[in-house]
Amino acid sequence: MADVPGSPAGGSHESGGEQSPHSNIREQDRFLPIANISRIMKKGLPANGKIAKDAKDTVQECVSEFISFVTSEASDKCQKEKRKTINGDDLLWAMATLGFEDYIDPLKAYLSRYRELEGDTKGSARGGDGSGKKDAVGSQLVPNAQVGKQFFVL
């Protein structure tokens, strides 16, 4: 894959363990797994639909950029407030500030339901059956090792 203009790392993300020239983060750690991206994309297609590899790679890059964009705005807010931890409310604020108001109500509902479930399982990262936490709609919540107790929906 050719270099992606505007990419924070300045290059392809297919290299696996290479270090980004602008940070100490490995390329593979900057992106959600391509299998997860592919699975989400396939949900919007008919059963016989196919997705080109470059389309998956592009969406993977875009998702990473979007997460960084929103998280950076939330982080700036936390720094101004002299806090070290970004929470869900900070992310909602960042989404609204960045012009994603249409997503706020569904995200508030999701966050509220997540907090209800989190309260029921406090102190344990896995449910009693070892299957992992489930969100309000049954998606598996997977902890992101780099950011501590934040979760990505798979």
Whole-number pLDDT of residue 30: 84
pTM above threshold 0.85: no
With H, G, I as helix, E, B as strand and everything else as coil, classify residue 94: helix
Amino acid at 152: F
- Exposure pattern of 21-37 as b/e (b: 16+ CB <10 Å)? eeeeeebeebbbebebb
Tell me the pLDDT tens digit for each residue of 27-46.
777 899 999 999 999 999 99
State yes or no: pLDDT of 151 exceeds 70.
no
Tell me the pLDDT tens digit for each residue of 63-101.
999 999 999 999 999 999 999 999 999 999 999 999 999
CA distance 38 to 56: 6
What domains can be seen in the chain, in order of their start residue? 31-153 (1.10.20.10)
Q: How confident is the model at residue 122 (pLDDT cuts 50, 70, 90)?
A: low
CA distance 154 to 39: 9
All residues at 6 or more sequence positions from 88 whose CB lies less than 8 Å from its CB, including other chains: 111, 114, 115
